[in-house]
Structure 1
């Protein structure tokens, strides 16, 4: 009998297996070793960012903003809620693999039909109370791994959601740091705009004085008036940009505009040098939460293929019921009312209108999409690191050249002022030298701000201190 049962199960399995669609080979996760950042000088060798990577910017006010954002950001709260939901689904999937034990009971009244083929008087004709109570034990043997695959899919999905929380936190931190660096640049630009405004005022006053003595015509004075108006408008535009930037920071930390008004001028440390950790981009895979999440989504989709495949095989469940059943509630707990049944239940899919085949194709398509998204995310991640590194490398030379231009403009202004004091130079030459210095400083400021942004971009591109723990790289079930 047992041999016959085994043979029957094997035949049923072969019958189900024969109907599984034969699809093309699945895509493969891109090996990060096939990508390269190109040649890197040994002087660049460094490490991945620390968890609180923004502290290298050296501003306590920025640290406080980051802490506020962690506590109050709606975007981060959304990601955390999704992670909790995914963990709940994982718990449900795990519970489905365990035996279930429950108590069921019922009570009521019944009058049985007298016309059931029995002699008259054998069946009571009055209304009788009845009851039933029992313990039900059920267990799915999960011979084909459907529930185990569902648990694996839910586990990977839960870990992916947790990585998504880390990614949301990193994006938030990078946005705050970038906006804060912009704010610092705006304040510095405002200083230069004030100097430019004062220069325009001095020039206009000089030209008006010369016009009064008949030494200048009205066209030259009008041009200076226009320059003063443009300098005034520039200062007002910078004040607007500072206000908008403060509002943006307040929104990022989950507060209203009144919080932004309390943000003081940033006091940022000098920019960092270019350092890249070794063995990139291979080590990037476990350091970027978006890559970890994308890989885990592919693993989850892979496990769901196993769920879809199990739909082609028969389900065998074991169930047992032990309890009491009686007509007449006063008889319910008598020994003679004891009832029990136990045995297997089998469900064999024979014809389902193509639902199982469609489900399998959908699961494979979901896996193919997840793998493609991972591969695209990996390429984008390597590019982001390369772009930030290229910007940092280029900015070193640009900043050095811009600093030389500032130094030269400063020397020119000093010499011009000395000549003017000695009566050897016109005041207009001094004002022109001031404008040249302001322009040189503005160019240097723009490069320094770009360098600060490149630091932030590189820290974010390298994962911002995230590290995948524990290691989770199960074999993909394709």
Structure 2
């Protein structure tokens, strides 16, 4: 009885030897929600859920194919999927440690036994065959979650890898979409520049005729010719930009340059609008895959702290051996050759020169570092959402002003056309109005490009339709 009491007192005394640790705090969700209330509530949007395949709303089959093939076949994403498979294998390996370890062994040896050792004659001084056959059982109890914490750590690391795949998929899809949208509007700009060049050429020919009649000086013709060359320069620069965009799409999509040469004409729907769920600010971080990744890593680091603490506690392990040993083969499986063994081991770590405490401090530092990485990701996410919303609203305002300018320029063109048709003015004035309208059309195309790209930025900021389970890290 005294021995039992002494053992229990030793255990309780030992349990008090785990050092105190200081874990840092994550940013609270309520603080995050408050940052979003004003901006998200003022944003005019239909209360529809942002879907995973948001790009399909652009109604361009070629864009759908580019993004979906990239997500499926891009080598960089395939590499990440292999990392995820590796992480899952590690989870299975650590789970297997929770089960008893059973091993089978068989051994045949021939040996001469010494005459001057513990074996008497006729064993000593002669050669004999020794046959052994047995099953070995090892199991260590997990009273303090030492193994279970490692399993949780591995599981959360695997989930972090899975979320990271979504981070990269979102990056790939939004990058391709933005480039493709720009390609769409660059092609439209190219078409409008050709129209602008045609009008300028027409004006140039009229000025040339007027000059030959002696009704104008050479300056107007030179300025007109200079305008044509500037347009040619813009067309050339635009074609270079289009080729650069194609190459960028090819690199991100994991495609060869020859595949980009087969691209058909883009067909983006101009009326695309991003939809944001109402009250999304109440749970916005669950829609960001990189935040989910950081949360899973935080849970993993917390589990490693649990594992480090468990190493301070005592433990019990079992060992069993079902063994048959015999010199003659014919007697190996007789009951007289049966030599079972059973053992219970009690381990009580007492002194290790600070190794366990240093290990615990390392795990706490890893956790606190991850807290700061999580907090930084949250701050980045909040800023990206707010900035994307404001940028989109400003771009919409600019586009609205530009639409008004276009309407007025178009009205002026109709007036000039009417004046020209009734013979109150020459055609040059009418062509100048057409040129002014054409320049505003080009500005409108550029703003439309910016608007759709701003919507893609907002889609990325909102997580692109990603939805993770709500993960509570505030009490870890």
TM norm. shorter chain > 0.5: yes
Distance in 2 of aligned mates of 1:318 and 1:423? 109
Report matched runs for 1:49-128 at 5 Å.
Answer: 49-116=50-117, 121=121, 123-128=123-128
Q: Which residue of 1 aligns with 2:20?
A: 22
Q: Deviations over 1:325-382 (max 9, x none)?
A: 2334444223222111111223443343432222111111111122222222122222
Counterparts in 2 of 1:208 and 1:475: CA distance versus 1, 3 Å: closer
Q: Which residue of 1 aligns with 2:435?
A: 435
Distance in 1 of aligned mates of 2:5 and 2:301? 32
Report matched runs for 1:40-439 at 5 Å.
Answer: 40-41=41-42, 43-44=44-45, 46-116=47-117, 121=121, 123-273=123-273, 275-439=275-439
Distance in 2 of aligned mates of 1:169 and 1:102? 44
Distance in 1 of aligned mates of 2:272 and 2:385? 16
Distance in 2 of aligned mates of 1:117 and 1:76? 67
Q: Indicate the SS of the match to 2:224.
A: helix
Give the deviation of 1:402 after TM superposition: 0.3
Q: Indicate the SS of the match to 1:325.
A: strand
Q: Indicate the SS of the match to 2:283.
A: helix
Give the deviation of 1:189 after TM superposition: 1.1
Give the deviation of 1:105 after TM superposition: 2.2
Q: Deviations over 1:408-453 (max 9, x none)?
A: 1112222223323344334433333222112211221122111111
Distance in 1 of aligned mates of 2:147 and 2:344? 18
Distance in 1 of aligned mates of 2:118 and 2:264? 95
Give the deviation of 1:117 after TM superposition: 5.9
Distance in 1 of aligned mates of 2:61 and 2:336? 80
Give the deviation of 1:231 after TM superposition: 1.2
Unaligned runs of 5+ in 2: none
Distance in 2 of aligned mates of 1:417 and 1:4? 112
Structure 1 contact 274–392 (Cα < 8 Å) conserved: no
Give the deviation of 1:310 after TM superposition: 1.6
Structure 2 contact 181–449 (Cα < 8 Å) conserved: yes
Q: Which residue of 2 aligns with 1:11?
A: 10
Structure 1 contact 183–265 (Cα < 8 Å) conserved: no
Unaligned runs of 5+ in 1: none
Give the deviation of 1:87 after TM superposition: 1.0
Distance in 2 of aligned mates of 1:475 and 1:41? 29
Q: Which residue of 2 aligns with 1:37?
A: 36
Counterparts in 2 of 1:406 and 1:11: CA distance versus 1, 3 Å: same
Distance in 1 of aligned mates of 2:423 and 2:225? 27
Q: Indicate the SS of the match to 2:323.
A: strand
Q: CA RMSD in A?
A: 2.5
Give the deviation of 1:146 after TM superposition: 0.6
Distance in 1 of aligned mates of 2:398 and 2:216? 40
TM-score between the two structures when normalised by the length of structure 1: 0.90
Structure 1 contact 274–393 (Cα < 8 Å) conserved: no
Distance in 2 of aligned mates of 1:234 and 1:45? 39
Structure 1 contact 13–314 (Cα < 8 Å) conserved: no
